[in-house]
Amino acid sequence: KQEVTQIPAALSVPEGENLVLNCSFTDSAIYNLQWFRQDPGKGLTSLLLIQSSQREQTSGRLNASLDKSSGRSTLYIAASQPGDSATYLCAVQNGGGSNYKLTFGKGTLLTVNP
Amino acid sequence: AAGVIQSPRHLIKEKRETATLKCYPIPRHDTVYWYQQGPGQDPQFLISFYEKMQSDKGSIPDRFSAQQFSDYHSELNMSSLELGDSALYFCASSPRPPLAGSTDTQYFGPGTRLTVL
C-alpha cells in the first residue's frame, strides 16, 4: 500500500526566504508525482506534475524534483511571498491496477510572514 | 477556461439522512474521481469512473454509491449519514485515464462541504 509522508508538517519563514518542502513515498512504481496547493477550506490547485521518467519540473519560482528510486521529491520555492502561504500537498499516482487514484501526503502548512 | 463544477457547495444534513453531491467535469473530460477530505486530513480517494463505468474503488463506505451519466457528470449518493461523514468532498476530472508517462493532471473542483449534525 502506497504511503506518502511530508516533512515538515508546518513551516514559518520570513518573506524573501528560499525554502524546501519534502515528500517521500514507499512504493516507487508510480506514474507521476504532483504538488498541489490548498488554501484554507478551498479546493486543490495543481502546481507541478513530474512524470516518473523526469527528474524535475519548473514553474516560475517553483521547482520540483523527483528521485523515484529513493522515493523522494522536493518542492523548492524561491523568494517566498506572503501570498505563498497555504498548505502544500504532495500526491503520487501509482501504476498497475489501481492507477486512477492519487495518494496524498498530509501536507505542509506554510506561513510566509511579511 | 471551464473548470470542474460541484454542487451544492455547502450542505447541512441530520444523522441518518441522505445526500446527493453532483459533479460536472471539464468539457471533453471522460474520467471522474471522487475524494473525501476530513477536517485536518489529507484527501482520500473514494471512487472513479471512466466512460460511465466504475474504474477504481477506494475506501468508500457501503452506504455510499456513485455513478457517471451519459453526459459524463457524476453523482455521489450518501445514505444513513453519520457524524463522521462531515468532510469536504472533491470531484476531479481528467481528459483520459491515467497512463504511464502521462502528463495529465487531475483537475479538482472547489468541493462540497458536507456537515452532518
Of A48-57, A73-82, B82-91, least confident by mean pLDDT is: A48-57
Q: Which residue type sits at B36?
A: Q
Instruction: Using an 8 Å CB-CB cutoff, list residues of chain B that contact chain A.
Output: 31, 33, 35, 41-45, 48, 50, 55-56, 58, 88, 90, 92, 97-103, 105-111, 113
Q: Which amino acid is present at A82? A: P
B105: amino acid identity, one letter? T
| Angle subtended at Cα B86 by Cα B61 and Cα B20, rounded to the nearest 5 degrees | 65
- For residue A20, the model assigns a pLDDT of 97
Instruction: Report CB contact under 8 Å: A105, B42.
Output: yes
Q: How far is CA B14 from CA A16, B38, B47, B61, B117, in A?
A: 47, 17, 24, 18, 5
pLDDT of B1 > 80? The answer is no
What is the per-residue pLDDT for A78? 97
Mean pLDDT of A33-58: 92
Say if residue A27 is exposed, middle or buried (CB neighbours under 10 Å; 0-12, 13-18, 19+).
Answer: middle
DSSP string across B6-57 = EE-SEEEE-TT--EEEEEEPPTT--EEEEEEE-TT---EEEEEEETTEEEEE
Determine the distance in angstroms separating the CA of B86 from the nearest CA of chain A, rounded to an integer: 13
| Inter-residue contact A94 to A31 (CB < 8 Å) | yes
Averaged pLDDT of chain B: 92
CA distance B40 to chain A (A): 8
Residue-level length of chain A: 114
- Interface contacts A/B by beta carbons within 8 Å: 72
Give residue ranges of A with CB < 8 Å to any B CB. 4, 31-32, 34, 36, 41-46, 49, 51-53, 89, 91, 93, 95, 98-107
Burial of A87 (0-12, 13-18, 19+ CB in 10 A): buried
Instruction: Name the minimum distance, in Å, from the CA of A61 to any CA of chain B.
Output: 20
* Grid-cell match 502544500, residue found: A88
Task: Give the model's pLDDT for residue A39.
Answer: 93
Q: What is the pLDDT of residues B18-51, one digit of tens each?
A: 999 999 999 989 899 999 999 889 999 999 998 8
CA distance to partner chain A, nearest, from residue B117 (Å) = 19
Whether residue A8 is preceded by a cis peptide bond, meaning omega within 30 degrees of 0, is yes
Handedness of CA A102, A98, B55, B50 (dihedral sign): positive
Q: Is the pLDDT of residue B55 over 80?
A: yes
How is residue B68 written as a grid cell?
Answer: 457517471
Whether residue A103 and residue B108 make contact (CB cut-off 8 A), yes or no, is: no
Instruction: Supply the mean pLDDT for chain A.
Output: 93
A94 pLDDT more than 90: no
Query: In this structure, are residues B14 and B68 in contact, taking their beta carbons and an 8 Å threshold?
Result: no
Q: What is the pLDDT of residue B95?
A: 83
